[in-house]
Structure 1
Amino acid sequence: MHQATRLRGAVPALLIGLLVLLAAALSAPGVSAQTGPQSTEQGTEDSDTESAEPQRSGKDSGVTTLRADDKHAYGLEVRGPDALRKLLVRHLDLARFREQADISEVEIGRLIAAAPAQARSLLETEGYFNAQVDAQRVEDPAGGTPTVRVQVDPGPQARVGRVQFDMQGAFAEALQAGDPALERRWRGLQARWPLKSGAAFSQSAWAGAKNALLASLRSRGYASADYAGTGAQVDAKDNTVRLSLVIDSGPLFRIGEVRIEGLERTPEDVARNLVPFDIGDPYSEKILLDYQEALQRSNLYEGVAVELDLDPARAGEAVVVARLRENTLQSATTSIGYSTNTGPRFGLGYTHRRPFGQDVVASVRLQVGGEERLAGFDLLGYPQESGYSNLLSLQADTLDAGGARTDTQRARLGRTRTTERIDRLYYLEFIRTTLETDTRRTTDKALYGNYEWVRRDVNNLVFPTRGLILNAQAGAGYALDDDDERGPFARLYLQGTWFQPLPRPWLLQVRGEIAQVIKRDSLGVPDALLFRAGGDNSVRGYGYRELGPVRDGAVVGGPVLATGTVEVLRRFSGDWRDWYGAGFIDAGNAANDWGDYEPVFGYGVGVRWRSPIGPLRVDLAYGQEVGSVRLHISVGATF
């Protein structure tokens, strides 16, 4: 039974209406997810409103009023540009001490007298060195609580004049020796400096620029880099600031030793086998992060911290310290979930990370769902010096889809390696599949060797918005079918997903896959090695694996497959920035050969949520071939 509600008749009109409404909502200027009146912060300018009209019209009234009441000794009114008013209301002593109802008149007078100088000091941090500030007390004509009025004329904001960089230390020595790589890097550091001549000056921008320059040096080789001196010379008359920086790079750090700490039962060599650099390599922040991620991916350690010893005296042979906390020796997990592909599911898992004292991780898993059931046992060896891990896997699964029941058993022996961007897996597998329809039952077997390669060149692995993900597989084997016919075959598969930002706030995703099993027409291979289409991550609008050749009234696997998707997303604004609206078109099918191949289409709308574990996708898709609507729900990144 399909896990979907089917609507017929007015479906195309309904989808067109939904698309029009979505486009209108997403493209409307100033769309906000807020409802009701806008909330305000308490205790500053927001707790006492200005005039209502400027807020409705989007104009700045130029005044922030902290009204007086029985809890305050006086009211406060600050007049000036919006951003500067917020600064003054947040930091002026007049704003803080007004809450002291018992403050004396003498103390209020002192605060008023000190306010102009204090305000000018605050404004100088934003680059206003010629500000005019006046503070005076205004009595209430009705005899009530007085108001202190602060009038601010900031004058022009200072601009950066000349910027002078001087480099000292090992970096400067290499520059003098004519190192071309460092010359390019030094030019790049200066080119990325944000406070160029003519830029608006503020203390926060100055501090941020200095920190960013130093962080860039420290992240690649010069871990002890620091400033020998910095200066911001202000010419208040011309409203310019001359910046000077003297950077001492310190020595170039090179990796000399890797020290492992915190292990009790796991061999130290395992952590060393995951090191992604060689002794003597220049230090960089990236190689330490790569090492830390490799240790985390191994699933052997619950806590990982990789650091560099910053002792300049040992820079030529710097020590990398990996502090590890081992994962529990044994763990059990349960899971419950729902997928529109296969319905509700329940899972159990058990893992032992050193059975019988051997350097392997043993896992047992069981998953029971409405249309799919799976049981598996895996042995994964600890990472070796090459970075690869040996694996042994036994698995049995059952799938009811497209009117056919498929029972598959696999025994796999291979090796795997996972790095930051590339995953590799090669194995030899014996596979046996029984395909049962209403009128026929066949069992095919094969001995099959395969190589799988996945590359992820994206800006974010959890929710990519730019880049490319490729998945390539190539294998060959020897099959024995239900009619005792035997012979060789080959299997090829390629999938790619391209992520491309469009003019904000739009995004584009394009996905495509193509695959083929090359064999004699009369030779049967296990159905699990063939292809079907349809479902959440294939052609939406159709059931999971319900697209393909039809045999005896049931959908079975086909030797050829091609599917594709074009999807446009628009990011919401405000508090809903982790949500996206989507419109998409899917096309594709599986077939017995390319001559019989006929793609079917699905299209619809949906929403995306950028969750911590990957995108939550909810789609309403119309399958053109079947003339019905299907709901698709999935969560998590799919590579």
Structure 2
Amino acid sequence: WGRAESAFSLTLMTFIGPLVVPITGWIIDHVPLRPLVLWGVLAQSINLAAFGFMEGSIWVYYLLVFLLMFTAAGPSILTLAKLVQGWFDKSLGRAMGILFACGAIGGVIHPLWVQAVISQVGWREAFMVMGALSLVIAGGVAWWSVYQAGPATGGDGPASSSAAEAPLATPMSMAAFLRDLIWWKLALFNMLFAFGTGAIYRHFAARLQDRGAAPAQARELLQTEGYFDAVVTAKREDGRPARVLVQVVPGERIQVERLLIDTEGPLQARLDAHDAEALGVAQALQTAGKLGAGTPFRNADWAETKQQLLGRLRAAGYASARIAHSAADIDPQQHLARLQVRLDSGPLYRLGELQISGLVHHDAETVRHLAGFGGGAALTEARLLDYQDRLQKAGLFERASVSFEPVADQAEATVVKVTLSELPLQQATLGVGVSANTGPRASVEHTHRRPFGWAVSAYDKLEYGRTTQTWTGDFYSHPGEGFYRNLLGVQISRVVSDTDVVLSQRLRLGRTQDTPRIERLYFLELLRSRQADAAGVSSAEAVSGNYHWVWRKLDSVLLPTEGVTLSLQGGAGQAFSRSGDDGPFTRLYGRFTGYLPLGAQWYGQARLEAGQIYKNAKVNVPDALGFRAGGDDSVRGYGYRTLAPKDSAGTVRSGLLMLTSSVELARPISAALPSVWGAVFVDAGRAADSWVGFKPALGYGVGVRWRSPIGPLKVDLAYGDELKKVRLHLSVGIAF
């Protein structure tokens, strides 16, 4: 028998029980209690023992359950209540309360005890034990209570007890009530009766053991996994406790022959009109599900596929989409499954207006600009999530939520709720850190998100380290049309190396645009650079127009394992110098980084970086525009910015071109520490003035990475092939 078939017995009890109780009450009022209790105990004991001899049809099981509802009525709680009524008058309520309390105690104990009996001797023998126990304990106590109580417990005719008809002359006190031996006999009977027999109503073990539930259940489970012609047999083995051996031959698995996906509603109407956007949605549905032609059929995968299709349609803007019909036609002979889903798209939801809440200092216009779409735009999941992401990254809001309620009647002009929580107007941050490139450092940052009431963010950062000191001041307008911001930036930096000191000042005026995939920055820059070394002091200035472009496609911006990034920079301008000729120049730079999972918990990373300045040989450009290599995130195994040309005095200076590359393999050190990775790497490259005779410096080594919530923290031990030395590279920082 299947679990559903055998569990129907509990449903049978639920429906029959309420019908039996009134009949039991009528019998108690018209039948002497003594024979009712004694014969009821005997009938119930026989009924319980009969479960242990069941064979054949499940209807035998249903019949025994049906009879148990009646045989258990004789020694039921109603009969005991009738006896109590004959013994007590003013204390009747307390007597009934304690009677039911003792029954509850037995009800708590007996499930554990009965389960132990089933585990030790098997379910058949357990039913026989329950029947015998009911006869011995409950029958003995019932006989004792009925006959020792005298005439008050019942007479020879219906309701003939004189005590039941004549109340006690003097009401009993609680103390006297508890000292009455009759009560304790009755309470003991109720508790032992529940202990001995009540568990049967909760532990119908026949549906859990070798009455056929195991084979049927196994077949049902195998069908959910795609095995529809499985052969399951069960054999009972001798011994104590009883054991059942279930043998399963699954047979051939069902394969999906086809998955037919149909649509109805507004989406189908747009498809009939050859709407390009609707055609894209329909094509996306064809690849959305986990199941497809040739895949093994599983019930769980079928359910998941339907939800994936529904989710894909809702994500496309049809928020009221539902499954109108689905069917799985299983052909056990051919071992094929023909699947069909028909989706009712419901209306396409479009933006009516933005309902913005939570603004205190900032303008609603800024929030609307960050949407990037206007009235009538389809409310797709990607569009709303991108909007929410832009709000959170705008630097103005601590939290942002974008949502709407799908109301079909308002689909053409849906109200989108934008709930915001602003960041503080001013914020200060202190930071400390250490790097193998620049040594220890400390920093102070301050941000004002609306100085003088202007829609501008002001950012200042002062960083002081052993080899680098920098002050940066930027003013960004709040996002406008197309996500663009206006920019005014100032930077003064001082970089100290073993051979020189470079002081540079920059002034930038331009515009920037940030989108989830692409960042753009174009600006006019004034740059002055002053280099001091053993040979003296040289300086140069430049004015240039520049364009920076960054493209990302990563699984995670913070901790990427798959994807690519590409950064390109281009600039052209005029250089001015006292030590050389004035003249035009062009500067180009590019950097590509790729991440690729290799399988078996191995992850690869590769980087290629190149740059060059084009100018007349006699034109001097500011040193800050040139290129240097070496150190973290460049060529490990060498000092920071040391892989560059040297002048006649041996002083390192910036080169006119640069080429570096890196290949790294990493994997988790152990399953217990998935965020700690070990790595091996090879770096190569340098900066130079000419490609003629260019020879990259080589560095290689091993390292450890901790993929922390704030980004990867790295410790590398690298060997510089040119220096024949090992160098430790450390990059770690914390802000508070």
Same fold (TM over 0.5): yes
- Paired residues for 1:163-242 under 5 Å: 163-179=259-275, 182-183=278-279, 185-196=281-292, 199-232=295-328
Match of 1:528 in 2: 624
Matched, 1:247 2:290: no
Match of 1:458 in 2: 554
Structure 2 distance, partners of 1:293, 1:102, is 65
Give the counterpart of 1:599 among 685, 690, 696: 696
Q: Does 117-126 or 438-447 show the bigger shift?
A: 117-126
Question: What per-residue deviation string (whole Å, max 9, x for no partner) do you get for residues 153-198 of structure 1?
Answer: 3744862566443321112223333446645653552355333466
Structure 2 distance, partners of 1:105, 1:135, is 27
- Larger RCO, structure (CA 8 Å, separation 6 or more): 1
SS at match of 1:283: coil
Structure showing the higher strand proportion among its residues: 1
Deviation of residue 537 (structure 1)?
0.8
Cα RMSD between the aligned structures?
A: 3.5
SS at match of 2:309: helix
Q: Does 158-167 or 545-554 show the bigger shift?
A: 158-167
- Paired residues for 1:91-130 under 5 Å: 106=200, 110-115=204-209, 117=213, 119-120=217-218, 125-127=224-226
Give the counterpart of 2:449 among 331, 353, 365: 353
Structure 1 distance, partners of 2:118, 2:703, is 51
Q: Does 151-160 or 531-540 show the bigger shift?
A: 151-160
Match of 1:550 in 2: 646
8 Å CA contact retained: 2:568, 2:590: yes
Partner letter of residue 348 of structure 1? V
Note closer, same or farther for the CA distance 1:505–1:486 as it changes in structure 2 (3 Å cut): same
Match of 2:248 in 1: 153
Match of 2:143 in 1: none
Structure 1 distance, partners of 2:238, 2:452, is 85
SS at match of 1:265: coil
Note closer, same or farther for the CA distance 1:374–1:161 as it changes in structure 2 (3 Å cut): closer
Structure 2 distance, partners of 1:635, 1:182, is 49
Match of 2:679 in 1: 582
Matched, 1:295 2:391: yes
8 Å CA contact retained: 1:402, 1:545: no
Question: How many residue pairs were aligned?
Answer: 540
Give the counterpart of 2:116 among 61, 73, 91: 73
Matched, 1:633 2:727: no
Q: Does 257-266 or 267-276 show the bigger shift?
A: 257-266
Give the counterpart of 2:637 among 512, 520, 541: 541
Structure 2 distance, partners of 1:104, 1:271, is 67
Structure 2 distance, partners of 1:498, 1:220, is 30
Q: Which is greater in Rg?
A: 2
Note closer, same or farther for the CA distance 1:549–1:111 as it changes in structure 2 (3 Å cut): same
Deviation of residue 633 (structure 1)?
2.9
Give the counterpart of 2:440 among 318, 333, 344: 344
Structure 2 distance, partners of 1:526, 1:428, is 16
Structure 1 distance, partners of 2:505, 2:561, is 38
Note closer, same or farther for the CA distance 1:241–1:372 as it changes in structure 2 (3 Å cut): same
Question: What per-residue deviation string (whole Å, max 9, x for no partner) do you get for residues 355-383 of structure 1?
Answer: 11111111221212222122222211111
Structure 1 distance, partners of 2:501, 2:197, is 84
SS at match of 2:432: strand
Note closer, same or farther for the CA distance 1:479–1:195 as it changes in structure 2 (3 Å cut): closer
Match of 2:64 in 1: none
Structure showing the higher helix proportion among its residues: 2
Note closer, same or farther for the CA distance 1:131–1:339 as it changes in structure 2 (3 Å cut): farther
Matched, 1:479 2:522: no
8 Å CA contact retained: 2:541, 2:622: yes
8 Å CA contact retained: 1:305, 1:323: yes
Deviation of residue 448 (structure 1)?
3.0
Match of 1:419 in 2: 515
SS at match of 1:603: strand
Structure 1 distance, partners of 2:115, 2:632, is 61
* Percent of aligned pairs sharing the same letter: 39
Deviation of residue 132 (structure 1)?
4.1
Give the counterpart of 1:315 among 411, 425, 444: 411
Unaligned runs of 5+ in 2: 1-111, 121-194
TM-score w.r.t. length of structure 2? 0.66
Question: What per-residue deviation string (whole Å, max 9, x for no partner) do you get for residues 445-476 of structure 1?
Answer: 32333211111133432333443322111112
Note closer, same or farther for the CA distance 1:203–1:486 as it changes in structure 2 (3 Å cut): same
Deviation of residue 206 (structure 1)?
2.1
Match of 1:612 in 2: 709
